[in-house]
Amino acid sequence: MRMRKNLILLFLLLAGVMFGSLLAAVTADVSWLSWLSYGDTVGIWVDNPMVLDLAVFKLAFGFELSINIAQVICVFLAILSYKGVASRL
């Protein structure tokens, strides 16, 4: 039962992030909704990642996190909907 609740939470959070990024991309050119696409990116510079070359394989290290207001709102709504769903299980 606990595993099922964790999977539901993970699914809802991923759906919130994906829907939020889609919403931000769609509303970026709409003048009165463009504030939803405001965000920032943090992480290790991805264009120049650290590379470990061992002749057999190359391993590149990089991490980038991009977040915007629409994603924050959608993740918050996903958490609220999880509380409603989890109470019924």
User: What is the mean pLDDT of each successive set of 10 residues along the chain, which is 89 residues long?
Assistant: 89 96 94 93 75 86 88 96 87
Q: Rounded to whole angstroms, how far apart are CA atoms 42 and 48?
A: 14
Q: Rounded to whole angstroms, how far apart are CA atoms 57 and 88?
A: 49
pLDDT at residue number 73? 97
> Residue 84 is which amino acid?
G
**Model pTM score:** 0.79
Cβ(26)–Cβ(33) below 8 Å:
no
pLDDT at residue number 42? 85
pLDDT at residue number 86? 84
Which structure tokens are listed for 46?
């991805």
pLDDT at residue number 46? 64
